[in-house]
Chains A and B, each alone.
Chain A
Amino acid sequence: MTKEELIIPENKIYGKPTLMNDTPMHYCPGCSHGVVHKLVAEIIEEMGMEEDTIAICPVGCAVFAYRYVDIDWIEASHGRAPACASAIRRLWPNKLVFTYQGDGDMACIGTGETIHALNRGENIAMIFINNAIYGMTGGQMAPTTLMGMKTATCPYGRQADLHGYPLHITDIAATLEGTCYVTRQAVNTVANIRKAKKAIRQAFDNAINKRGCSLVEIVSTCASGWKMTPEQANQWMTDNMFPYYPLGDLKNTVKL
């Protein structure tokens, strides 16, 4: 078999989902956002929900998410995506509504909106990219920055007396009655990506079927912010982030 014989459309088994357009993404090389965007596009495509999805993107690195996935997007103001999504979901009872937010957006400036949307049990899905740093603004401390971790605004490492402790917003979400599915995933390996995809798919499913609010945290890397290569960042995440933010379901009340 020659390469030309192999590379023909009927042998194609994997490629960029068609919902993901050709616009080059602004993310840094190796950024986890790209993988999650790809998963979101794949899932919506597989569900055939293109015309019935309304996505809300945040302020932060994913502020331009709307450029890459060919569905209708709303760019919310900083932290307010869950409020936006709550209203839309209530007004459009047949649509899939999800938010895509980073740690600053979801767990800092928008904590109020996050907690209340979760607690009201809004039938929306929330995807939460936690890379423990503010990527877009140049690597400042995030609410989820680990103790001792160095950032531009805690250059000597995060200290409890100066900066307080990392916020476990996902753990808080799991304690709220309005949530039906709270899980923490990662996209650093093929196996984890498959699990993350399944989780997002379930969250979308929950939203469509009005089972309550779902939160999928993706523990992510920020190679630029962490000042590492993407490969080192994955390793650092495995060594430091996973012990603090362990992967797996925190809550799942949906018995399928």
Chain B
Amino acid sequence: MAKMRGAIVVDIERCKGCNLCAVACPLNLVTLSATVNHRGYNYAEQTDWEKCNGCSSCAIVCPDGCITVYRKKEE
């Protein structure tokens, strides 16, 4: 069965760690990093990309436009 596969790329230095992406992810695949970026924010990162279906919720709610979403149907 065809399955949607997705992955996100976070602009780490632009991220302010607001956590809204983590809240928005219906699969709870986004979390804040343990380390910080140069401005001192814990940035968003994807925990388990293999489960991501590329729904883009995290990116749509991101106020800083830090998240780019890639998606492909896997045959």
In A156-175, which residues have CB < 8 Å from any B CB?
none
CB < 8 Å neighbour of B9 from A1, A7, A13, A190:
A7
Residue interface bits B46-75, CB-to-A below 8 A is 1, else 0: 000100001011011111111111111010
Interface size on B, residues (CB 8 A): 35
Chain A, 178-214, contact with B by CB distance < 8 Å: what is the 0/1 string?
Answer: 0000000001111001100000000000000000000
Q: Which of A1-30 contact B (CB under 8 A)?
A: 1, 3, 6-8, 11-17, 20, 22, 24-25, 27-30
Check A77 for interface membership: any CB of B closer than 8 A: no
A: contact size bracket: 35 or more
Residues from 207 to 250 in A contacting B, C-beta threshold 8 Å? 223, 229-231, 234
Chain B interface main SS type: mixed
Contact present for B17 and A29 (CB under 8 Å): yes
Are A30's CB and B54's CB within 8 A?
Answer: no
Once bound together, how far apart are the Cα atoms of A9 and B72, in whole Å? 11
Check: A47 CB closer than 8 A to any chain B CB.
Answer: no
In the bound assembly, the distance between CA atoms of A187 and B62 in angstroms comes to 10
Contact A190 B69, beta carbon cutoff 8 Å = no
> A29 is contacted by which of B18, B57, B67 (Cβ under 8 Å)?
B18
Q: Verify A13–B69 contact, CB threshold 8 A.
A: yes
A33 at the interface (CB under 8 A from B): yes
Other A-B pairs, 19, CB within 8 Å; known A6-B5, A7-B7 = A6-B7, A6-B71, A8-B70, A13-B54, A13-B69, A14-B67, A14-B69, A16-B66, A24-B13, A24-B39, A29-B17, A29-B18, A31-B18, A34-B65, A189-B61, A190-B24, A194-B60, A231-B23, A234-B23
**Which positions in A face B, CB cutoff 8 Å?**
1, 3, 6-8, 11-17, 20, 22, 24-25, 27-35, 38, 187-190, 193-194, 223, 229-231, 234
List the interface of chain B (C-beta within 8 A of A): 5-7, 9, 11, 13-14, 16-20, 23-24, 39, 41, 49, 54, 56-57, 59-72, 74
